[in-house]
Structure 1
Amino acid sequence: MYRKDWASKWAEYTPNKVAVKEYRPARSLTYQELNNQANSLAHYLVHDLKVGKGERLMVLAEHSIEYVALFSMTQKTGITLVPVNFRLSVSEIDYLISDSEPRFLIAERKFEDLVSSLKSNIEVLWLDDLFSQLNNSEYQRFEAVELEEDHPAFILYTSGSTGFPKGAIYSHKMLLWNSLNTSQSLEITPSDLTINCMPPFHTGGWNVLVTPMLHRGATIGLMNKFDPDFLLELMEQEKSNLFMGVPTMLKMMADSERFKSVSLDAMRYFIVGGEALPLEVIDTWHRKGVKIRQGYGLTEVGPNLTSLHQDDAEQKIGSIGKPNFYVEYKIVDEQGRRVEPNEVGEFCLKGPMVTPGYWRNEEASQKAIVEGWFHTGDLVKEDNDGYLYVVDRKKCMFISGGENVYPAEIERVLRAVYGVDEAAVIGVKDAKWGEVGKAFVTMKPGCSFSESLLREHCANHLAKFKVPRHFEVLDELPKNGSGKIDRKNLA
């Protein structure tokens, strides 16, 4: 049992230091103000609304100062946050509500139409109304509760390889050790400033830089929407020295009109994840004087697990680098035996930053975590110098604009369309998004193929980024010797 309340510590050490700021409109909180707001929020939720330790609050909102205060509140109370992707369809959000059973849904007013369409019977707290309750000075004190190491700080839903999302438990222990790994690898200091563009419903929007920066008493700028021109201006203006983005963001920034004129002399490096960055993009940023650090992570572990030092970005193009400080790893074949250098095997990870499991899903937890090792499903190899490379994704997942997309989810939705017999989805190259979905379907006898019908059905039941960009009808799907769909023969 232990207490983890970072805001209160930095309120003691550097009370007037800016903890978090926004830009449109300009707002900020010092560490003292952040701690006061989190205390007030904790008092109101626990004492007035009777929300108990371990109960869930689902949040439907863009990143904001208020969202960071909600995180600080979780460290004080043991209330668990369930961030939800506001790009999801109504049916997808209803499923998450039924699975996590939150006490309240906290939502921004801008999502009122989406909230009103939900079929779930859940009480809604509007974000601005909730924070308007916190002006009473008697709420400024709150004694943090003791928390078990594996107590959930977040439940982060990942797209499901079986067709339904799984809630990865992100514990307070994971928060601590991910922060230590990140600070060691990236050399984060209290004088650092990052501008975060990653959304709050991803582990990347919290745990790549936001929570490690809060742990170190640094400053976080928040953009609730990615705008390449404005982001470049802010980086110059704020003298930001760390930035995390996905390859699509770096490509769009490099194509921006502001790219040539902006000065980024203060930038130590960019951290890039999600997929390998093409050499030409690395070269473009290197010529700009910005170094690139690529890495690897996933929601259930870390997420900051490996890092390729910026000096090796060109020499080891495509590598995810080497494991961070407290990360154990092994690469194994299908029999669980360790493979030799340059041989391909499944990437398995171990350490204090591994999830305790999936929310109310013991079967998935036991399948993923075997004797303490988390089986990622990613196929990697290690070269003779100890550098790691992702060769393939065992689970067929592809990445579209930084979003993980699992074909099984889309295929389940497609098979529900009248007349569809079989469905298979793969990721195909796309100049803007990196990859987009391509769906292949076969039709039952007497039924005709309608791309518009399939597209409309997907749009009604899936987030926009999951809707396939391309559709094709086949007489039959290719199968392998065991009768399973042979995705390698789809293109």
Structure 2
Amino acid sequence: MYTKDWVAKWALYSPHQPALKELDTDRAYTYAELNQAANYLAAELTQTQRLRKGDRIMVLAEHCLEYVALFVAAQKTGLILVPINYRLAAGEINYMVANCQPALLIYEEQFEDKALQLQALTAPAVPDVWPLAKLATICHRGLEAFEPIPFTAAELDEDDPVFILYTSGTTGFPKGALYTHRMLLWNSLNTSLSLEIMPADVTINCMPPFHTGGWNVLLTPFLHRGATVGLLKKFQPERLLALLDQEQADIFMGVPTMLKMMMESPAFATSDLGSLRYFIVGGEALPLEVIRAWDRKGIKIRQGFGLTEVGPNLFSLHQDDAVRKIGSIGRANFYVETRLIDEQGQEVGPNEVGELCLRGPMTTPGYWRDPEATAKALPDGWFRTGDLLRRDDEGYFFVMDRIKNMYISGGENVYPAEIERFLLTFPGVSEVAVIGVPDARWGEVGKAFVVTKGLDISCDALLAYCAGNLARFKVPKYLELVAELPKNDTGKINKKALLAAV
């Protein structure tokens, strides 16, 4: 049985190595300090507050030192963290409270009104509610102790959850994906093997803690490798460029919107970024012009792909292939098994589109208190992603679209992501979203929303460009120029908002 108390090991091996730094405050923890704070917190939660393995702690806060110390305490105790999207309304969060029934709610002071609303809405109310300041006080007491505070980690099973991560559900209710200690380990191994993470490495994390990317793309793999993570609450292009230089970051993960905004920042030209090995990019594919702009800067781009329930670090495109295999997510990482299947469940061949199915030790055992959703997602041990992919003759994977985004026009399957990638090759086009809309003749047709860089580009010119290069059924019937596209909390284009507005 492997140890799940990673930080205790690094506190022994490299006690003075920086573990965490808050870039908004310059507060920091070494591995010894992080372990000391987490040990004191673990003792407070289990011995004083009498919380037990499997109890849920819901957190309504941005990333900070104490939040990560709480995660380390969860590794030691078997308590389950439930990070909540603080941008949601109290009524939306209330469903999650009722669903996971936390024993403790911790809220950052800026979200106090929302926490109070939750207590009023929830029946029964959460048994205990703490402001984040109380968590900070407990951690500080641990650091003030004259002697190291021992804490004997609980005996945990590999499949005990460490997180419940809520994702949007097709029924209109969010689903709580179980993220286990086994998943933590194997996601870190996949990440470390692919990205060659070393203890001397430094990264900056500005992904929110309610998203798996805020924990499991780089933060937890870096803690597993004894490396250093800078925590940044808000993404600001100019400041982030300066901090990447100041902290001598080796790797940075962002979504495409971030990289485009950084590239367009006035600070882009003067930033050195000489310490960076590469950027990790998830979400939509980056336009070729953005990849080339960063390449001229000397920064290689590694396109990746993952999801909350599996990984999330599942595929990676090596930086040397960033231009040659534009649009690809690369090959599957080391311990990831893949299949592409058709609607009958049969595997498809090279260059054919099929639903991606995944298997491996980084796969969720299911959803919290939702056996129906679990059975649907894992009917035979393979996780059905709902993503449509194609694998080329060299074994490189390309995301065609989500099954739910695909529409059928005149009997032909149309994948909006394919049209979006093509329109992004038109000079001056910066963002595109394509959706299917009802049509009396064809059943459904495409409507494209296009953002340009202030250039004088006409809809007719864009449609003519499509007509000359795409099959007729793929050419959008409608095209609208817009100033911006709606985004969700992680910076991805919100197609539900576009569909609702049609």
Q: Normalised by the size of structure 2, how large is the TM-score?
A: 0.80
Q: Deviations over 1:397-433 (max 9, x none)?
A: 999xxxxx9x9xxxxxxxxxxxxxxxx9x9964649x
Cα deviation for residue 470 of structure 1 reads 5.5
The equivalent position to 1:257 in structure 2, one of 253, 260, 266, is 266
Instruction: Report matched runs for 1:303-382 at 5 Å.
Output: 303-382=312-391
- Using the alignment, how far apart are the partners of 2:356 and 2:493 within structure 1? 27
Q: Secondary structure in 2 aligned to 1:117?
A: helix
Residue 185 in structure 1 maps to residue 190 in structure 2: no
Cα deviation for residue 467 of structure 1 reads 10
Q: Number of aligned pairs?
A: 421
Q: Is the 8 A contact 1:3 1:144 kept in 2?
A: no
Q: Deviations over 1:257-277 (max 9, x none)?
A: 111001011100000001111
Q: Is the 8 A contact 2:24 2:233 kept in 1?
A: no
Residue 277 in structure 1 maps to residue 286 in structure 2: yes
- Using the alignment, how far apart are the partners of 2:271 and 2:184 within structure 1? 35
The equivalent position to 2:135 in structure 1, one of 130, 135, 138, is 130
Q: Secondary structure in 2 aligned to 1:147?
A: coil
Instruction: Report matched runs for 1:6-85 at 5 Å.
Output: 6-85=6-85
- Using the alignment, how far apart are the partners of 1:146 and 1:2 within structure 2? 11
Cα deviation for residue 371 of structure 1 reads 2.0
Cα deviation for residue 469 of structure 1 reads 5.5
Aligned to 1:101: 101
Q: Is the 8 A contact 1:87 1:464 kept in 2?
A: no
Residue 232 in structure 1 maps to residue 237 in structure 2: no
Cα 1:330–1:362 shift into 2, 3 Å = same
Q: Secondary structure in 1 aligned to 2:27?
A: strand
Cα 1:428–1:302 shift into 2, 3 Å = farther
> One-letter code of the match for 1:36?
Q
> One-letter code of the match for 2:237?
P
- Using the alignment, how far apart are the partners of 1:297 and 1:321 within structure 2? 12
- Using the alignment, how far apart are the partners of 2:91 and 2:493 within structure 1? 15
Residue 203 in structure 1 maps to residue 212 in structure 2: yes
Cα deviation for residue 3 of structure 1 reads 3.6
Cα 1:427–1:310 shift into 2, 3 Å = farther
Q: Secondary structure in 1 aligned to 2:150?
A: coil
Residue 86 in structure 1 maps to residue 86 in structure 2: yes
Q: Deviations over 1:55-112 (max 9, x none)?
A: 0000000011111101100110000000000011111110110011100111100111
Q: Normalised by the size of structure 1, how large is the TM-score?
A: 0.82
The equivalent position to 1:384 in structure 2, one of 393, 398, 403, is 393
Q: Secondary structure in 2 aligned to 1:330?
A: strand
Q: Secondary structure in 2 aligned to 1:234?
A: helix
Structure 1: give runs of 5+ residues left out of the alignment: 400-404, 408-423, 433-462, 474-490
Cα 1:429–1:204 shift into 2, 3 Å = farther
Cα deviation for residue 193 of structure 1 reads 0.2
The more displaced of 109-118 and 40-49 is: 109-118
Q: Is the 8 A contact 2:66 2:135 kept in 1?
A: no
- What RMSD over aligned residues (CA atoms) do the two structures have, in Å? 2.4
The more displaced of 121-130 and 12-21 is: 121-130
Cα deviation for residue 471 of structure 1 reads 7.7
Q: Is the 8 A contact 1:58 1:102 kept in 2?
A: yes
Q: Is the 8 A contact 1:2 1:148 kept in 2?
A: no
- Using the alignment, how far apart are the partners of 2:35 and 2:224 within structure 1? 13
Q: Is the 8 A contact 2:21 2:229 kept in 1?
A: yes
Q: Deviations over 1:279-299 (max 9, x none)?
A: 111111111110000011000
Bigger RCO (CA 8 Å, 6+ sep): 1
- Using the alignment, how far apart are the partners of 2:154 and 2:451 within structure 1? 49
Instruction: Report matched runs for 1:281-296 at 5 Å.
Output: 281-296=290-305
Aligned to 1:446: none
- Using the alignment, how far apart are the partners of 2:218 and 2:493 within structure 1? 24
- Using the alignment, how far apart are the partners of 2:157 and 2:497 within structure 1? 45
The more displaced of 122-131 and 66-75 is: 122-131
Q: Deviations over 1:234-262 (max 9, x none)?
A: 10111101000000000111111111001
The more displaced of 130-139 and 174-183 is: 130-139
Cα 1:21–1:89 shift into 2, 3 Å = same
- Using the alignment, how far apart are the partners of 2:58 and 2:308 within structure 1? 18
